[in-house]
Amino acid sequence: MMKKTLMGLLAAALCGGVAQAEPLKIGYSDWPGWVAWEVAIQKGWFKEAGVDVQFEWFEYVPSMEAFAAGKLDAVCMTNGDALVTGATGAPSKTILINDFSNGNDMIVGQPGIEKLQDLKGKKVGVEVGFVDHLLLLKGLQAVGMKESDVELVNVPTGETPKALASGDVAAIGAWQPNSGQALKAVPGSKPIYTSKDVPGLIYDVLAVSPASLSAHPEEWKKIAQVWYKVVDYFYDPATHDDAVKIMASRVNLSPEEYAKFVSGTKILKLDEAKKVFKKGEGLDSVYGSNVVVDEFNVSNKVYDKPQPTADYIAPAITDSL
Protein backbone atom coordinates (compact mmCIF):
# COMPACT_ATOMS: atom_id res chain seq x y z
CA MET A 1 0.00 0.00 0.00
CA MET A 2 1.17 3.52 -0.76
CA LYS A 3 1.11 4.58 2.87
CA LYS A 4 3.58 1.83 3.66
CA THR A 5 5.67 2.87 0.66
CA LEU A 6 5.81 6.41 1.97
CA MET A 7 6.73 5.22 5.43
CA GLY A 8 9.42 3.00 3.98
CA LEU A 9 10.86 5.77 1.86
CA LEU A 10 10.96 8.15 4.77
CA ALA A 11 12.51 5.58 7.06
CA ALA A 12 15.11 4.67 4.46
CA ALA A 13 15.93 8.31 3.96
CA LEU A 14 16.82 8.81 7.59
CA CYS A 15 20.54 9.08 8.05
CA GLY A 16 20.66 10.04 11.70
CA GLY A 17 21.72 13.63 11.28
CA VAL A 18 20.30 17.08 10.67
CA ALA A 19 21.77 19.28 8.03
CA GLN A 20 23.30 22.41 9.46
CA ALA A 21 24.03 24.01 6.18
CA GLU A 22 24.40 27.66 5.40
CA PRO A 23 22.19 29.02 4.01
CA LEU A 24 19.15 27.59 5.74
CA LYS A 25 17.49 25.20 3.31
CA ILE A 26 13.71 24.96 2.89
CA GLY A 27 11.95 22.45 0.65
CA TYR A 28 8.75 23.55 -1.05
CA SER A 29 6.40 22.14 -3.67
CA ASP A 30 3.42 23.06 -5.82
CA TRP A 31 0.67 23.68 -3.26
CA PRO A 32 -0.50 27.32 -3.71
CA GLY A 33 0.11 28.23 -0.06
CA TRP A 34 3.73 27.25 -0.49
CA VAL A 35 4.20 28.51 -4.01
CA ALA A 36 3.51 31.96 -2.52
CA TRP A 37 7.04 31.86 -1.06
CA GLU A 38 8.10 32.48 -4.66
CA VAL A 39 7.03 36.12 -4.29
CA ALA A 40 9.66 36.69 -1.61
CA ILE A 41 12.25 34.74 -3.57
CA GLN A 42 11.77 36.74 -6.75
CA LYS A 43 11.49 40.07 -4.93
CA GLY A 44 14.73 39.50 -3.02
CA TRP A 45 13.01 40.00 0.33
CA PHE A 46 15.10 37.48 2.24
CA LYS A 47 18.29 39.37 1.36
CA GLU A 48 16.60 42.61 2.41
CA ALA A 49 15.69 40.98 5.72
CA GLY A 50 19.28 39.89 6.26
CA VAL A 51 18.65 36.17 6.34
CA ASP A 52 20.50 33.67 4.20
CA VAL A 53 17.97 31.11 3.00
CA GLN A 54 17.77 28.80 0.03
CA PHE A 55 14.45 27.39 -1.21
CA GLU A 56 14.66 24.06 -3.03
CA TRP A 57 11.84 22.95 -5.36
CA PHE A 58 10.60 19.37 -5.05
CA GLU A 59 7.74 17.05 -5.77
CA TYR A 60 5.81 16.79 -2.51
CA VAL A 61 6.80 13.36 -1.19
CA PRO A 62 10.48 13.75 -2.15
CA SER A 63 10.53 17.02 -0.21
CA MET A 64 9.61 15.13 2.94
CA GLU A 65 12.17 12.44 2.16
CA ALA A 66 14.86 15.11 1.82
CA PHE A 67 13.84 16.59 5.17
CA ALA A 68 13.87 13.15 6.78
CA ALA A 69 17.35 12.57 5.36
CA GLY A 70 18.63 15.73 7.02
CA LYS A 71 19.17 17.53 3.72
CA LEU A 72 16.82 20.37 4.62
CA ASP A 73 16.36 22.56 7.66
CA ALA A 74 12.63 22.80 7.02
CA VAL A 75 9.96 21.60 4.67
CA CYS A 76 6.50 22.73 3.62
CA MET A 77 4.01 19.98 4.39
CA THR A 78 0.57 19.39 5.87
CA ASN A 79 0.15 19.15 9.62
CA GLY A 80 -0.84 15.51 9.16
CA ASP A 81 2.27 14.66 7.16
CA ALA A 82 4.40 16.36 9.79
CA LEU A 83 3.10 13.67 12.15
CA VAL A 84 3.86 10.93 9.61
CA THR A 85 7.37 12.23 9.05
CA GLY A 86 7.90 12.51 12.78
CA ALA A 87 6.71 8.95 13.34
CA THR A 88 9.58 7.75 11.15
CA GLY A 89 12.07 9.52 13.40
CA ALA A 90 12.26 12.97 11.77
CA PRO A 91 10.33 15.22 14.17
CA SER A 92 9.62 18.85 13.37
CA LYS A 93 8.22 22.01 14.85
CA THR A 94 5.49 23.93 13.06
CA ILE A 95 6.48 27.57 13.43
CA LEU A 96 4.23 29.03 10.75
CA ILE A 97 0.83 28.12 9.31
CA ASN A 98 0.62 29.15 5.68
CA ASP A 99 -2.99 28.24 4.96
CA PHE A 100 -5.73 25.69 5.14
CA SER A 101 -7.20 23.83 2.21
CA ASN A 102 -10.41 25.62 1.25
CA GLY A 103 -11.70 23.53 -1.63
CA ASN A 104 -8.60 22.40 -3.48
CA ASP A 105 -8.92 18.93 -1.95
CA MET A 106 -12.07 17.29 -3.29
CA ILE A 107 -14.07 14.15 -3.91
CA VAL A 108 -14.91 14.16 -7.62
CA GLY A 109 -17.84 12.04 -8.78
CA GLN A 110 -18.54 10.57 -12.20
CA PRO A 111 -21.42 12.07 -14.22
CA GLY A 112 -24.62 11.09 -12.45
CA ILE A 113 -22.99 11.04 -9.02
CA GLU A 114 -24.56 14.08 -7.44
CA LYS A 115 -23.84 13.56 -3.74
CA LEU A 116 -21.89 11.34 -1.36
CA GLN A 117 -24.91 9.14 -0.72
CA ASP A 118 -24.79 8.12 -4.39
CA LEU A 119 -21.49 6.35 -3.68
CA LYS A 120 -23.09 3.66 -1.50
CA GLY A 121 -21.79 0.27 -2.62
CA LYS A 122 -19.55 1.83 -5.27
CA LYS A 123 -15.77 2.06 -5.75
CA VAL A 124 -13.92 5.20 -4.73
CA GLY A 125 -10.28 5.76 -5.71
CA VAL A 126 -8.14 7.46 -3.07
CA GLU A 127 -4.57 7.22 -1.89
CA VAL A 128 -5.25 5.25 1.27
CA GLY A 129 -3.82 6.86 4.37
CA PHE A 130 -3.45 10.29 2.78
CA VAL A 131 -5.40 13.45 3.43
CA ASP A 132 -8.09 12.92 0.84
CA HIS A 133 -8.89 9.51 2.34
CA LEU A 134 -9.47 11.43 5.57
CA LEU A 135 -11.55 14.00 3.66
CA LEU A 136 -13.72 11.22 2.24
CA LEU A 137 -14.27 9.74 5.70
CA LYS A 138 -15.28 13.11 7.11
CA GLY A 139 -17.73 13.57 4.25
CA LEU A 140 -19.26 10.14 4.69
CA GLN A 141 -19.56 10.75 8.41
CA ALA A 142 -21.31 14.07 7.75
CA VAL A 143 -24.05 12.33 5.75
CA GLY A 144 -24.46 9.40 8.14
CA MET A 145 -22.43 6.88 6.17
CA LYS A 146 -19.45 4.70 7.11
CA GLU A 147 -16.26 3.79 5.28
CA SER A 148 -17.67 0.30 4.79
CA ASP A 149 -20.55 1.78 2.76
CA VAL A 150 -18.10 2.29 -0.13
CA GLU A 151 -15.34 0.16 -1.63
CA LEU A 152 -11.98 1.90 -1.35
CA VAL A 153 -9.53 1.45 -4.19
CA ASN A 154 -5.98 2.52 -3.39
CA VAL A 155 -4.88 4.91 -6.15
CA PRO A 156 -1.80 7.16 -5.97
CA THR A 157 -3.00 10.74 -6.07
CA GLY A 158 -1.13 11.46 -9.30
CA GLU A 159 -3.05 8.66 -11.02
CA THR A 160 -6.53 9.64 -9.86
CA PRO A 161 -7.41 11.55 -13.08
CA LYS A 162 -6.65 8.42 -15.11
CA ALA A 163 -8.63 6.28 -12.67
CA LEU A 164 -11.70 8.47 -13.01
CA ALA A 165 -11.35 8.58 -16.78
CA SER A 166 -11.13 4.78 -16.93
CA GLY A 167 -14.61 4.47 -15.46
CA ASP A 168 -13.39 1.86 -12.99
CA VAL A 169 -14.34 4.00 -10.01
CA ALA A 170 -17.42 6.09 -9.26
CA ALA A 171 -15.35 8.86 -7.67
CA ILE A 172 -11.83 9.84 -6.73
CA GLY A 173 -10.31 11.90 -3.95
CA ALA A 174 -7.44 14.23 -4.85
CA TRP A 175 -5.96 17.67 -4.36
CA GLN A 176 -5.16 20.24 -7.01
CA PRO A 177 -3.88 20.04 -9.67
CA ASN A 178 -4.92 16.35 -9.85
CA SER A 179 -8.54 17.02 -8.91
CA GLY A 180 -8.78 19.67 -11.62
CA GLN A 181 -7.23 17.33 -14.15
CA ALA A 182 -9.83 14.70 -13.23
CA LEU A 183 -12.62 17.20 -13.78
CA LYS A 184 -11.21 18.04 -17.21
CA ALA A 185 -10.69 14.40 -18.12
CA VAL A 186 -14.31 13.41 -17.50
CA PRO A 187 -16.88 15.87 -18.87
CA GLY A 188 -19.85 16.07 -16.55
CA SER A 189 -17.92 15.01 -13.47
CA LYS A 190 -18.22 17.30 -10.47
CA PRO A 191 -16.95 17.89 -6.92
CA ILE A 192 -19.39 16.36 -4.45
CA TYR A 193 -17.44 17.17 -1.27
CA THR A 194 -14.43 19.40 -0.74
CA SER A 195 -12.15 20.69 1.97
CA LYS A 196 -14.23 23.87 1.93
CA ASP A 197 -16.91 21.79 3.67
CA VAL A 198 -14.57 21.01 6.54
CA PRO A 199 -12.16 23.95 7.01
CA GLY A 200 -9.20 23.23 9.27
CA LEU A 201 -8.98 19.54 8.47
CA ILE A 202 -5.88 20.15 6.37
CA TYR A 203 -3.43 22.85 7.46
CA ASP A 204 -0.33 23.60 5.41
CA VAL A 205 2.66 24.60 7.46
CA LEU A 206 6.37 25.35 7.63
CA ALA A 207 7.88 22.53 9.69
CA VAL A 208 11.41 23.11 10.98
CA SER A 209 13.84 20.61 12.40
CA PRO A 210 14.14 21.11 16.17
CA ALA A 211 17.94 21.34 15.89
CA SER A 212 17.83 24.11 13.28
CA LEU A 213 15.15 26.01 15.18
CA SER A 214 17.22 25.85 18.36
CA ALA A 215 20.39 26.94 16.59
CA HIS A 216 18.87 29.75 14.49
CA PRO A 217 15.82 31.23 16.24
CA GLU A 218 16.42 34.78 14.99
CA GLU A 219 16.83 33.63 11.39
CA TRP A 220 13.58 31.69 11.54
CA LYS A 221 11.84 34.72 12.96
CA LYS A 222 13.09 36.80 10.02
CA ILE A 223 11.80 34.16 7.61
CA ALA A 224 8.38 34.31 9.28
CA GLN A 225 8.42 38.10 9.01
CA VAL A 226 9.13 37.82 5.29
CA TRP A 227 6.23 35.39 4.93
CA TYR A 228 3.78 37.94 6.29
CA LYS A 229 5.20 40.50 3.89
CA VAL A 230 4.22 38.00 1.18
CA VAL A 231 0.74 37.65 2.69
CA ASP A 232 0.27 41.42 2.75
CA TYR A 233 1.40 41.65 -0.87
CA PHE A 234 -1.00 38.86 -1.82
CA TYR A 235 -4.01 40.51 -0.19
CA ASP A 236 -3.25 44.08 -1.27
CA PRO A 237 -5.59 44.82 -4.22
CA ALA A 238 -2.83 46.86 -5.80
CA THR A 239 -0.36 43.96 -5.88
CA HIS A 240 -2.55 40.84 -5.77
CA ASP A 241 -2.42 40.24 -9.51
CA ASP A 242 1.36 40.51 -9.52
CA ALA A 243 1.55 37.96 -6.68
CA VAL A 244 -0.64 35.52 -8.62
CA LYS A 245 1.42 36.12 -11.77
CA ILE A 246 4.61 35.23 -9.90
CA MET A 247 3.01 32.14 -8.36
CA ALA A 248 1.66 30.99 -11.72
CA SER A 249 5.06 31.35 -13.33
CA ARG A 250 6.56 28.95 -10.77
CA VAL A 251 4.25 26.15 -11.95
CA ASN A 252 4.15 27.12 -15.63
CA LEU A 253 0.51 28.10 -15.72
CA SER A 254 -1.17 31.29 -16.88
CA PRO A 255 -2.31 33.68 -14.13
CA GLU A 256 -5.90 33.06 -15.24
CA GLU A 257 -5.54 29.30 -14.83
CA TYR A 258 -3.79 29.66 -11.53
CA ALA A 259 -6.31 32.04 -9.98
CA LYS A 260 -8.83 29.23 -9.45
CA PHE A 261 -6.28 27.19 -7.50
CA VAL A 262 -5.56 30.18 -5.31
CA SER A 263 -9.20 30.55 -4.37
CA GLY A 264 -9.22 26.98 -3.02
CA THR A 265 -6.45 27.78 -0.57
CA LYS A 266 -7.15 30.08 2.35
CA ILE A 267 -3.85 31.85 2.97
CA LEU A 268 -3.92 33.03 6.56
CA LYS A 269 -3.22 36.58 7.61
CA LEU A 270 -1.14 37.02 10.76
CA ASP A 271 -4.08 37.58 13.10
CA GLU A 272 -5.84 34.53 11.63
CA ALA A 273 -2.76 32.35 12.05
CA LYS A 274 -2.40 33.45 15.68
CA LYS A 275 -5.96 32.26 16.34
CA VAL A 276 -5.24 28.88 14.74
CA PHE A 277 -2.17 28.54 16.96
CA LYS A 278 -4.30 28.85 20.11
CA LYS A 279 -4.97 25.55 21.88
CA GLY A 280 -8.38 24.07 21.19
CA GLU A 281 -10.14 20.82 20.43
CA GLY A 282 -11.86 21.82 17.20
CA LEU A 283 -10.55 22.09 13.68
CA ASP A 284 -10.19 25.86 14.07
CA SER A 285 -7.06 25.07 16.11
CA VAL A 286 -4.04 23.28 14.70
CA TYR A 287 -3.89 21.43 18.04
CA GLY A 288 -7.36 20.01 17.51
CA SER A 289 -6.68 19.27 13.85
CA ASN A 290 -3.52 17.36 14.78
CA VAL A 291 -5.49 15.14 17.15
CA VAL A 292 -8.06 14.30 14.45
CA VAL A 293 -5.35 13.48 11.91
CA ASP A 294 -3.35 11.47 14.45
CA GLU A 295 -6.37 9.29 15.22
CA PHE A 296 -6.89 8.76 11.48
CA ASN A 297 -3.23 7.84 10.96
CA VAL A 298 -3.23 5.31 13.77
CA SER A 299 -6.56 3.75 12.80
CA ASN A 300 -5.33 3.35 9.21
CA LYS A 301 -1.96 1.99 10.39
CA VAL A 302 -0.02 4.79 8.74
CA TYR A 303 1.95 4.47 11.97
CA ASP A 304 1.43 2.32 15.02
CA LYS A 305 1.38 4.59 18.07
CA PRO A 306 -0.27 7.96 18.67
CA GLN A 307 2.09 10.89 18.30
CA PRO A 308 2.57 13.62 20.93
CA THR A 309 0.69 16.00 18.67
CA ALA A 310 1.18 19.16 20.71
CA ASP A 311 4.95 18.69 20.63
CA TYR A 312 4.91 19.33 16.90
CA ILE A 313 3.57 22.85 17.36
CA ALA A 314 5.75 25.85 18.21
CA PRO A 315 3.68 29.04 18.13
CA ALA A 316 6.24 31.33 19.78
CA ILE A 317 7.65 32.87 16.60
CA THR A 318 4.24 33.64 15.08
CA ASP A 319 2.99 34.94 18.42
CA SER A 320 5.97 37.28 18.65
CA LEU A 321 5.18 39.02 15.36
Taking residues 73-77, what's their average pLDDT? Answer: 97
Taking residues 231-260, what's their average pLDDT? Answer: 94
CB 231 within 8 A of CB 267: yes
Residue extents of the structural domains in the chain: 24-102+201-320, 105-197
Per residue in 138-167, pLDDT (tens digit) is: 999 999 999 999 999 999 888 999 999 999
Taking residues 166-173, what's their average pLDDT? Answer: 97
Q: Which residue has the higher pLDDT, 190 or 9?
A: 190
Question: b/e per residue, 201-213, with b = 16+ CB within 10 A?
Answer: bbbbbbbbbeebb
Per residue in 20-45, pLDDT (tens digit) is: 458 999 999 988 999 999 999 999 99
* DSSP-assigned states of every residue in 9-43: HHHHH--S-----SSEEEEE-S-HHHHTHHHHHHH
Q: How many helices (H) and strands (E) in the chain? A: 16, 11
Q: How confident is the model at residue 7 (pLDDT cuts 50, 70, 90)?
A: low
Whether 281 shows a pLDDT value over 90: the answer reads: yes
Tell me what pLDDT residue 17 has: 39
Per residue in 176-228, pLDDT (tens digit) is: 888 988 999 999 999 999 999 999 999 999 999 999 999 999 999 999 999 99
Lowest-pLDDT range of 115-124, 202-211, 224-233, 258-267: 258-267
Tell me what pLDDT residue 152 has: 96
Do the two domains 24-102+201-320 and 105-197 of this chain adopt the same fold? yes
What's the chain's average pLDDT? 92
Question: How far apart (Å, rounded) are the C-alpha atoms in residues 88 and 31?
Answer: 23
Q: Which residue has the higher pLDDT, 209 or 5?
A: 209
The sheet carrying 123-126 orders its strands as 151-154, 123-126, 171-175, 105-109, 190-194
Taking residues 100-126, what's their average pLDDT? Answer: 96
Architecture of the structural domain at 24-102+201-320? 3-Layer(aba) Sandwich (3.40)
Q: What is the dotted CATH code of the domain comprising 105-197?
A: 3.40.190.10
pTM over 0.95, yes/no: no
* DSSP-assigned states of every residue in 215-246: H-HHHHHHHHHHHHHHHHHHH-TTTHHHHHHH
| Pairing relationship of beta strands 74-78 and 24-28 according to DSSP bridges | parallel
Question: How far apart (Å, rounded) are the C-alpha atoms in residues 19 and 212?
Answer: 8
